[in-house]
Structure 1
Amino acid sequence: MSRRAFTLVELVLVIGIIAIAAAIAIPRYADALLRYRADAAARRISGDLALARSRANTTSTAHSVVFSVAANEYRIPEMADASTGAAYTVRLGDAPYRATLVSASFGGQSQVSFNGYGVPNCGGALLIRAGSVERTVVLDATSGRASVQ
């Protein structure tokens, strides 16, 4: 009765192939993760701009979104955070985004206000970066709609 087994050469060869495959896959995974983080942060900002616009329209009161590049966050003072009761604040440096707010410009200011009709006081753009990946959120001055580019 003969016993079948793998030789040391076969095991080393398989481990080498797995190591090569991992060396190829890991950088691609890291790039995909950075793209995900930049996209998620940009979509969150776009969604919150739409939320502030909608809340301003439905309540017929002005709502503003204030961006702080230095603190890497933005807030909507007229809305309360459900868990803390403080002003609604999103920190882009925290998980899951781990992104950086590079610039925020709305007519020379770092904030935008929506009037009671949901119309912004001006258009503008935001630049978000996660690693080497950048996304731009553009707010249209006429329609008040935000888009990710």
Structure 2
Amino acid sequence: MLNDQKHNRAFSLIELVLVLVLIGIVAAIAMPRISNASSQYMLESASQRALYEIEYAKAIAKATSSSYTMHFDSAGQRIYLSGPNGKADDGVVRELNLNDSIYEVSMNIDLSGETSFIINGFGMPEKMYEFDLYRGSYKQKINVDCHTGEVSLE
């Protein structure tokens, strides 16, 4: 009788294989969702950082009463600020590299053929600008309004 009780407490090989198969099925279902959530998060992080960089450029231009230039390098997938006085040879003040492993996003720029825009000494951009950031099938549009100075995400 003692041998029967010990035998009943053990798991059979079939039960263990069945549990492993179920865990595999659940993991296969969950993995694409986790991957999509990760892509969305990385895109949102990069978009918020780009918005912050433009807001920083506006603030520093206003504080110093000097023009600064936001440059968009689509080949290198980076956004950088130069200045004061908006000249590219004044040196890079700040830089956002969209290829960094924490973002890994792509950029599409619609600056009417330009690759930069100037923020004047009042902290206002000279023109209306918009650009898109992409990660996989997800897209985030960033708008810069020259009338209000507002930078927004769509």
Task: Give the structure-1-normalised TM-score.
Answer: 0.89
Where does residue 14 of structure 2 map in the other structure?
Answer: 9
Where does residue 105 of structure 2 map in the other structure?
Answer: 99
Q: Are positions 1:133 and 2:145 aligned together? A: no
Give a deviation string over 1:55-84, Cα, whole Å, max 9, x none. Answer: 1111111111100111111111138xxxxx
Runs of 4 or more, structure 1, over 6 Å off, are none
- C-alpha spacing 1:57/1:121, structure 2 compared with 1 (3 Å): same
* Pick aligned residue for 2:96 from 63, 67, 90: 90
Is the CA contact (8 Å cut-off) linking 1:107 and 1:123 kept in structure 2? no
Q: What percentage of residue pairs aligned between the two structures are identical?
A: 28
Instruction: Structure 2: state its 5+ residue gaps.
Output: 85-90
How much has 1:105 moved relative to structure 2? 2.5
Where does residue 82 of structure 1 map in the other structure?
Answer: none
Matches within 5 A, 1:1-149: 1=2, 2-3=5-6, 4-78=9-83, 87=92, 88-101=94-107, 103-149=108-154
How much has 1:107 moved relative to structure 2? 4.2
Task: Give the structure-2-normalised TM-score.
Answer: 0.86
Aligned residues: 142
Which is greater in Rg? Answer: 2
Matches of 1:108 and 1:55, distance apart in 2? 26
Matches of 2:10 and 2:74, distance apart in 1? 61
Structure with the bigger percentage of helix: 2
Where does residue 88 of structure 2 map in the other structure?
Answer: none
Is the CA contact (8 Å cut-off) linking 1:37 and 1:96 kept in structure 2? yes
